[in-house]
Structure 1
Amino acid sequence: MTIRNRLVKVAMYEHLADFRGGPPNQLHFCLYSKWAGFNWGMIITGNVQVSNNHLTLGRDICLPRDLSEESLLPFREWNTSIRGSGESKALAVMQLSHAGLAFQKPKQMTLEDIDDVVRAFVKGAKVASESGFDGVQIHAAHGFHIPNCKSNERLDEYSSQPHNALRLLHRIVSSIRAVVKKEFIIGIKINAADYVDTLEDDRVLGHFQSIATWGNVDFIEVSGGDYEKPADFRTLRDFMAKMSKSPRQALFSRFSKTAMDTLESLQTESSLAKPLILLTGGLRTPELLHIALEKRHAHLLGIGRGSILSPDLPRLLECELNKAQASSSLAWSAPFRREPDLSVSLALRNIFTTIPLIGAGTGMAWYLVTMRRLAMNPSRPFKSKDLEPDYTLGALAAVFWMWCWVDSPFVSAATYVVFKKQIPEESAKLPPPTMLATTLITLALASFTYAAPSVKVSGCDISKATIEFPAGQTALAPPTSTPSFVAAAIGTQNYTCSAAGTYTNVGAVAELFDISCLYNTPAFSKIADVAFTAWKAAPASLSTQKVISLLEPIPFPVILGQHYFVPNPVTGTGLSPKWDFIAQGATKGNPKAFVVGAKVNGLPAPTGAQDIDWVQLKSLTGSLATQIYRVDTRGGQPPASVSFGV
């Protein structure tokens, strides 16, 4: 198999499939046809999940459950879109991935589980081969296929001991090689960040050497940092300064400079070809591309986000080199194309550090939205203006639009118009659009982003879920029925003030987010703090009612409904709390999807007097529930004092 040049569009998560996972679709075909038209040597797809039960952030491409001519059609069309037309066709490689338990509560795999994983990867390779792809890449990064010494406590043949650490990966590669043609490409992706805790040079290079001696791997992708010029480490002091700032970067910098030497020093059978090294990370300028090849730090050059900013990069470089030869000038150290400004305010940055999938993912979101823009532009032939990124898109808006979209670009545009037209008569009273968008992002995604990893954002089985009451309390009785859902309520408590300066609670208004699928996960205990912090950052002019109105047309599958107060349906006097699921979610349109409750008992919040009481309620009317518990509260208490009439 011959690759036409050394430039490789590496794998990136596209976020374009059906929300619950599915085959590639027209958006994928259109997106990859952009790269196909510009002379890339090899194009590696985004991760294709080999298990439908273990996904990532939603909208994953998944293998078909059964292999048939019909189920393979989308993958064959995907392959065709990657190859493009004409004589200069890129090699098409499908990345295979297993999300494992990265987004769920970890548990030890049984030997049967391990066998299932191997079979799943073999199935993925068959899908790729029968769909016309030139090969597959096994995503072996992030500790799933290469056990971590600190977290892997197994004592069997899949332990983290040196002679066992690569056993699963070796089984996967060998099993794939046994069922595909000799010329079928098999690659592996390794991430230097997986070894950062102890800066294990010997361990990472030892794994690298072992893989190279198997004789059935064609290329190894090394990622996990930013490639730097050798001159960047002139002295030991320079190196130590870099290591103190970023141990991961320090390890990657060393590894990227020694990988090729390690490979060339191996003594292998003459009949076994050594794998090529694909270096990915920070190759943003022509100078770095040139140095990586000149210094023999890589055979192939991997471009990730740069391929989104410049899908035409191979052709662009070719044109620039031709100009340089003619005029002896080249913007050698300038980036291919400028990167986005994804900075946020200090206040919001403090919020986002507690929301891992937002705080670490604003960059990912921006590039996902930019990829979607390319995918939704079917114009042919492609023009430079069609490829120009939208640099007006900020970090928070990118996170918002990453989640807030539907498959049709027309529906998405209409949704955005409706989103803005909900409140025309009050526009003068609202905060500026950017501030309003910022508030909605922090409010909605505080719950939504946590729910997204489990993908199945509603309908999860929580029949065995329990409420953790404070030890020794007797005010709240345990539930007597099976729980149906767990909701995060974000809103306001309403009070009136008397002439005596005392408060009366007159109810609440809240938006309800489904967090049922997060029960028994590490994220569950953080939701209340994250949501409360985000809501406190909202401007005073943004009421809960406005938030509900603005979110109504947006297809968040995680929104259950609303909570508010109504006249008591039994006595006709006073107010009673209502949970209303009629307008949204799986119960949308069901007139009985509500419950009006009555307080049974209450308990002061164990987190402190600043938080409203925990409450147990029973149903007065409605079919939604028989019991309701308000627990894990944050805020909601009135000020300590007030001056009447002020």
Structure 2
Amino acid sequence: MYEHLGGLFGGPPNRYHNALYSKWAPGGWGMIITGNFQVSPYHLSLGRDIIIPSISPENLAPFKVLVSSMRGCQGFEGKGDGKNGSLCIVQLSHTGRQSPRIIGGRLGTTRRPAAPSSRRLGEDTAEGFIAKFAYALGFQIPHALEEEEVKDVIEEFLRGAKFVHEAGFDGVQLHAAHGYLISQFLSPKLNNRNDSYGDRLLLLQQIIIRIRQELPSNFIIGVKLNAGDYTAGDMTEDEAMGHIRRLCGLSLDFIEISGGNYENPLFSRLSPREAFFAPFSRKVIQEISTITQKPLILLTGGLRTPLQLSGAILNNHADLLGIGRLSILCPDLPRQLSPASFDTLEAYRHITFPDSNLHAPRWIPKLAGAGVGVAWYTVGLRSLAEGKPLDMRMGTLGSVFWMWAWIGPNRSRMFVQLMMASIIPLIVLVVMWLYRQF
């Protein structure tokens, strides 16, 4: 999950990140995976990302503190024994064409966001004039990377992996989902290249190979894939399974099945009845069942009740389950579900957890709707970090406003942050109002 806790225009982890992850440290989680760590300072997502800097003792220091917080050895109050046993994984990311104007890290430069082909986000949307205007206002026409520039991207991911290994993390997850750069290369719609990277899997494959070559064999490498890319009709099932088989030959430790992107944000409107991407993950497990050394399959999305968690495992939908929103509502969920007697679906039926029940109105464009869908939980992450109770009564507009109206940790930029905290929610609310009128 994206924490939205960094300084404006990105930076290293800070006291808010440390406080947040120290809340999960004693929860009994098998792996704790961070939000986006951007490998490029010019490709931020929502402006408050963690950015991977160059390797130096000074730059490594705040990242080492974060590792300690995740392990429980140095929580927010500097306490803990470091014996939680959770693997600490960093999600390495490059947003590509989905990096927005102004808050995307390119303010004051002539840079454009990178992409496999020069296609702006939302140019094919069928949502109407206001939605097209919102996309044009928020996102630039991207720069199609030259072949040598693609190799620079590979080096950025390698540098990021080396950095987090040096900081003491156990591994990385390569973000190839949600419409980010690697996902853009995987997409038949967005990758129209005629060079070697017209092989849509090649970029991801080369990144994995380089990291495996340069780092110890026990350094964990996972990949986050987008089920939507493989199930929306853009690619045949044979092509999708071909990608999975190729990835299985690269000594990966796990593959996460997720979904959605800024144009089609499946993750913002998940079914309350079942794990949203379970059918695809089940096909993947069946496809790789005969492979001797295969990655574990991690399923995320729509897992909001203990019944769904138990059902996904018992029905062989996945080897591992990724918990996002429910981990905000219940930071020690694994410990609460640990009794050995919980071995049947029926045992989970009486357990429930609170939910915000916040849903984006249907009149909101998908671009803004995805933001509404995550805004309440983003504010919830901040409350968790600050040791405050979650506001279960906070509504749609309040969630969007308070997500953006936050000064952040960097008080030296308070004036700029106050301006951004005032302007951004205003723009979002105006776009939502205009869309409703038309």
Q: TM-score range by the shorter chain?
A: 0.7 to 0.9
Q: Deviation per CA, 1:374-421, whole angstroms, max 9, x where unpaired? A: 1112xxxxxxxx6x53201112101000010112699xxxxxxxxxxx
Partner SS, residue 390 of structure 1: coil
CA contact (8 A) 1:34 1:311 kept: yes
Work out the CA distance in 1 between the residues paired with 2:252 and 2:428.
Answer: 37
Say if 2:321 is the partner of 1:332. Answer: no
Say if 2:47 is the partner of 1:47. Answer: no
Aligned partner (choices 56, 62, 69) of residue 81 of structure 1: 69
CA contact (8 A) 2:10 2:49 kept: yes
Work out the CA distance in 1 between the residues paired with 2:33 and 2:359.
Answer: 30
Q: Closer, same or farther in 2 for the Cα pair 1:329/1:342, shift >3 Å? A: closer
Instruction: Please name the residue that 2:97 is paired with.
Output: 101
Say if 2:188 is the partner of 1:132. Answer: no
Say if 2:126 is the partner of 1:90. Answer: no
Work out the CA distance in 2 between the residues paired with 1:376 and 1:293.
Answer: 34
Higher relative contact order, structure no. (Cα contacts within 8 Å, ≥ 6 residues apart): 2
Instruction: Please name the residue that 2:5 is paired with.
Output: 16
Work out the CA distance in 2 between the residues paired with 1:444 and 1:283.
Answer: 35
Q: Deviation per CA, 1:433-481, whole angstroms, max 9, x where unpaired? A: xxxxxxxx9x95576449xxxxxxxxxxxxxxxxxxxxxxxxxxxxxxx
Work out the CA distance in 2 between the residues paired with 1:142 and 1:329.
Answer: 31
Partner SS, residue 368 of structure 1: helix
Q: Which runs of 5+ in 1 are unaligned?
A: 1-11, 226-244, 378-385, 411-440, 451-526, 538-633, 635-646
Aligned partner (choices 13, 25, 28) of residue 14 of structure 2: 25
- 1:147 deviates by 2.6
CA contact (8 A) 2:401 2:425 kept: no
Work out the CA distance in 2 between the residues paired with 1:218 and 1:147.
Answer: 20
Work out the CA distance in 2 between the residues paired with 1:165 and 1:71.
Answer: 34
CA contact (8 A) 2:277 2:299 kept: no
The count of residues paired between Structure 1 and Structure 2 equals: 368
- 1:224 deviates by 2.3
CA contact (8 A) 2:279 2:317 kept: no
Q: Deviation per CA, 1:572-605, whole angstroms, max 9, x where unpaired? A: xxxxxxxxxxxxxxxxxxxxxxxxxxxxxxxxxx
Aligned partner (choices 365, 372, 377) of residue 382 of structure 2: 372
Structure of larger gyration radius: 1
- 1:335 deviates by 6.2
Say if 2:333 is the partner of 1:313. Answer: yes
Identical aligned residues as a percent: 45
- TM-score under structure 1 length normalisation: 0.53
Instruction: Please name the residue that 1:150 is paired with.
Output: 189
- 1:282 deviates by 1.7
Q: Closer, same or farther in 2 for the Cα pair 1:330/1:36, shift >3 Å? A: farther
Work out the CA distance in 2 between the residues paired with 1:251 and 1:400.
Answer: 28
Runs (4 or more) in structure 1 with deviation over 3 Å come to: 249-253, 328-331, 333-336, 443-450
Q: Closer, same or farther in 2 for the Cα pair 1:297/1:340, shift >3 Å? A: same
CA contact (8 A) 1:286 1:334 kept: no
Partner SS, residue 154 of structure 2: helix
CA RMSD of aligned residues (A): 3.2
Work out the CA distance in 2 between the residues paired with 1:190 and 1:89.
Answer: 26
Say if 2:358 is the partner of 1:342. Answer: yes
1:72-471 maps to which residues of 2 (within 5 A)?
A: 72-84=60-72, 85-103=81-99, 104-143=140-179, 144-145=181-182, 146-159=185-198, 164-198=199-233, 200-214=236-250, 216-224=251-259, 252-266=277-291, 273-318=293-338, 332-333=348-349, 336-343=352-359, 350=363, 352-353=364-365, 356-377=366-387, 388-407=389-408, 445=424, 448-449=427-428
Work out the CA distance in 1 between the residues paired with 2:427 and 2:39.
Answer: 25
Partner SS, residue 162 of structure 2: helix
Q: In the alignment, residue 395 of structure 1 is paired with which amino acid?
A: T
Q: In the alignment, residue 338 of structure 1 is paired with which amino acid?
A: P
CA contact (8 A) 1:142 1:194 kept: no
Work out the CA distance in 2 between the residues paired with 1:342 and 1:262.
Answer: 37
Q: In the alignment, residue 297 of structure 1 is paired with which amino acid?
A: H
Q: Closer, same or farther in 2 for the Cα pair 1:531/1:169, shift >3 Å? A: closer
CA contact (8 A) 2:68 2:82 kept: no
Q: Closer, same or farther in 2 for the Cα pair 1:408/1:18, shift >3 Å? A: closer
Work out the CA distance in 2 between the residues paired with 1:306 and 1:316.
Answer: 12
Instruction: Please name the residue that 1:609 is paired with.
Output: none
